[in-house]
Amino acid sequence: MGPSPEDTDRGPRSHLTDIGRSLRSHLADTGRALASHLGRIGRELPGQLRHIGRGLLSLLTHIGRGLTHIGRGLTHVGRGLRSSLVGANRSLRSYLAGIDRDLRPYLIGFALALILTAIPFALVAFKPLPKAPTLIIIGVAAAIQVLVHLRYFLHLDLTSTPRENLVAIVFTAILIFLMVGGSFWIMFDLHSRMAM
């Protein structure tokens, strides 16, 4: 498809004019479209921003409400926990009151002994503390557990146990203190003197 004879007749100049005209109209079209676009954007932007703002605001409100809900939930959980603890305590007490009076000391002693055994073994198994505090806790737990056994398994008590039994155990404690303490004094003193 070549140019028509009339076109060729008009010559290159008129061609150029045509191109220029169409170019101008094109540019004008583009400009108009651009302007209308910009106008639309300008018109719509505040709306969009408002939308976004509103969205953000509602999001924040939602989050806030959610946090309040969570807070309320936590309070609920806390209250529930407290009431369940109180309930457990109460039911434990009523359970203990319900069972045989003679059985009670054995169960209490058993529970305490289990706890006082679990603590030192756990400290040695998982080593959460340095050596010195671990040793101290082991010693304290053992001393308390000995008292628990004397009280709840051997039923030693300051009122119902015969007086001479108490005198005997106090005398034994004094003897043990003197002999064990004296041995340690002498032997560890010897150790440190030998090391000098």
Partner 1 sequence: MTADALVAAAGGNGDEPATPDVYEQRAFGFWLYLMSDAIIFSLLFATYAVMARNNAGGPTGNTLFSLPNAFAETMLLLFSSITFGLATLAMKSGEKERMLSWLLVTFLLGLGFVGLEIREFHGMVRAGAGPDRSGFLSAFFTLVGTHGLHVTFGLIWILIMTSQVVIKGLTVPVTSRFLRLGLFWHFLDIVWIGIFSVVYLPGIL
Q: Binding partner 1 by CB under 8 A: which of 41, 63, 88, 103?
A: 103
Candidate ranges 42-50, 54-62, 68-76, 108-116; the one touching partner 1 (CB under 8 A): 108-116
Q: Contact, 123 vs 136, CB < 8 A?
A: no
Q: Contact, 152 vs 108, CB < 8 A?
A: yes
| Host H or E run for residue 156 | none
Q: Which is nearer to partner 1, 85 or 168 (CB)?
A: 168
Q: Which is nearer to partner 1, 34 or 154 (CB)?
A: 154
Give yes or no for residue 117 binding partner 1 (CB under 8 A). yes
Give yes or no for residue 168 binding partner 1 (CB under 8 A). yes
Give yes or no for residue 124 binding partner 1 (CB under 8 A). yes
DSSP 8-state assignment for residue 4? P
Q: How many whole angstroms separate alpha carbon 155 and alpha carbon 157?
A: 6
Compute how many other C-beta atoms are within 10 angstroms of the C-beta atom of residue 109.
19
Nearest C-alpha neighbor of 168 from the set 181, 184, 154: 154
The least distance separating partner 1 from the CB of residue 163, rounded to whole angstroms, comes to: 10
Q: How many whole angstroms separate alpha carbon 3 and alpha carbon 10?
A: 11
At residue 72, what is the residue type?
Answer: R
The least distance separating partner 1 from the CB of residue 157, rounded to whole angstroms, comes to: 14
Q: Binding partner 1 by CB under 8 A: which of 125, 194, 195, 196?
A: 125
Q: How many whole angstroms separate alpha carbon 125 and alpha carbon 118?
A: 10
- What does the binding site for partner 1 look like in residue numbers (CB under 8 A)? 100, 102-103, 106, 109-110, 113-114, 117, 120-121, 124-125, 127, 131, 134-135, 138-139, 141-142, 145-146, 149-150, 153-154, 162, 164-165, 168-169, 171-172, 175-176, 179-180, 183-184, 187-188
